[in-house]
Each structure stands twice: as structure tokens, then as C-alpha cells.
Amino acid sequence: MIALIFRDLRIAIRVGGGFGLSLAFFFIIVIFFPFAIGPNLELLSKVAPGTLWIGALLACLLSLERIFALDFEDGTLDLLATSPLPLEGVVMAKALVHWLTTGLPLVFISPFLGILLGLQNISVLFLVMSLLLGTPALSIIGTFGAALTAGMKRGGLLLSLLVLPLYIPTLIFGAEAARRGIEGFEIQSSILLLLGVTLLSWAILPFAAASVLRINLR
């Protein structure tokens, strides 16, 4: 499993894997909001949690189609299915690589964009915490969606339609946790709910995605 993770990381860095594209897309979305809303920093700081969370969600969508597509086309996925490593482990490795190359960079860049939207230092910490706990759920849910559309030509639109409804709980609890922290309210319940969604997703979806992959490989 570790060898697979390092292999996919090397491929993602060498080929691109959506790393730079996701960051650029995230940056552009956040930059365009002040142009649409206006230069009012008080208003921008109120919409900052939702803006950054929606930007992170959409940026994660960009690279989902490539999670299994290349391995399916060149036959690598068939070899992985017959290897000693269970398909559930393959799914978890793919999701982890997606988070390391997409979700984690978005978490690192979010403080700078949060400050750009008028957030104060302590407010930025709540935003980063919510993204750090929530983006792994985006990756594993997206990996499940990628497994559903593996082998389909031009399945990117279908993948987005399948995954977006599953992203809603993570988006709600993540943005709510950041908002409550920024406004000085208690955030424990929102953080626990967000963490629960992430842990539940990582506990269930690798098995569901592996079952779907076995069907697609028949």
C-alpha cells in the first residue's frame, strides 16, 4: 500500500494530477468574490467561510476523474485487483494521494485567502481546522464517485452530479464550524459532526468503492 501511495504521488507530481490546476481554480474563485460583492471587508468576512468551503469543494472536483481513469485504461487497475493488496486498500491509497495532492494544499493556502477576505488571525485558525478535518471526506467521497464512473468515457459530468449531493453534509458542517468559530460561538458540536462524517466516510466508502470496481472490472 505504501509503494502504491508513493507511485501515485510521483505520477501526480510528474504529470500534474490536478495539483496546480486545483490551487489555481481555488485561488480564482476566492479572488472573484470581492469583485462580485464589493470591497466591504465586514461583508466579505461574513461570507468567507462559505466562500472558501465552496471553492475547496469545487477545486476537489477537478481532479476526481483522473483517480482511476489512467489505471483503468492502461490495465494497471486489473493488476491491482489481482495483487495481494485488497481493492479496499487500493481505494484508500488513491483517496489519500488525492487528499495529499489536492486537499492538503488547499488547506495550506486557505489562511492567505482568508486574510484576503478580511478574516482575523484567530478566525483563520477555525477555518483551517474545519478544512483540515473536512477535506479528507471530500477525497474519499470523490474516490467513491470515481469508482462508479471508472471506464466511462467523458464521465466527468456524471461524476460531478453523483458526488455533489454526497458532499452536502461535509459542506454544511464544515462551513458552520468555521462560521461559529469566527463569530465567537461554541464549535464543539459542529466539529464533532464534521469529524463524524469524515470518519464514517473513510470507514464505509472504501468497501463500497471496491465493490463497484470489482463490478466494473468484470
3-state SS track over 7-23: HHHHHHHHHCCCHHHHH
pLDDT digits (tens, 9 = 90+) for 113-150: 888 888 877 888 999 999 999 999 999 999 999 888 88
Confidence of residue 78 (pLDDT cuts 50, 70, 90): confident
Q: For the ranges 9-23, 93-107, 200-214, which has the lowest average pLDDT?
A: 9-23
Number of residues that this document lists for the chain: 218
Domain range summary for the chain, segments of one domain joined by +: 2-217
Confidence of residue 207 (pLDDT cuts 50, 70, 90): very high
Nearest Cα to Cα of residue 199 among 141, 126, 160, 144: 141
Nearest Cα to Cα of residue 1 among 73, 66, 87, 60: 87
Average pLDDT over residues 12-21: 66
Phi and psi based region of residue 196 (left: phi greater than 0; alpha: psi -120 to 50; beta: remaining): alpha
The CA-atom distances, in angstroms, between 53 and each of 77, 107, 108 are: 32, 10, 13
Nearest Cα to Cα of residue 71 among 156, 116, 12: 12
**Model pTM score:** 0.90
Give the integer Cα–Cα distance in Å for 46 and 18. Answer: 30
Is the pLDDT assigned to residue 177 strictly greater than 60? yes
